[in-house]
Structure 1
């Protein structure tokens, strides 16, 4: 159990078969699971920030 982390960053949800571009293109098979995951996190841990990353966008966690 993770408890209630301040931030969650889902990975491996984009389509690896296409060229990189922003915004990332979701994998059509994985996207519904990503949506469900984000919805579930927001329900269970409403204070947790979910960041769906973009390419070449730095994030600082502290």
Structure 2
């Protein structure tokens, strides 16, 4: 079992904002956010932000880049 992911709220907001502005996400950031989203303890805003990103990613509005 992997250790829980801890990201300061400010850093998470900046990362999500950057991904939305550029419409690109790295595989590393994608895996980080997937791990973050799978753990308990997220607040409602964090959960909503991650869900928004996943919807945009699945609809093709955000591209995964290496």
Question: Normalised by the size of structure 2, how large is the TM-score?
Answer: 0.33
Question: Normalised by the size of structure 1, how large is the TM-score?
Answer: 0.34
Greater gyration radius: 1
Structure having the higher helix fraction is 2
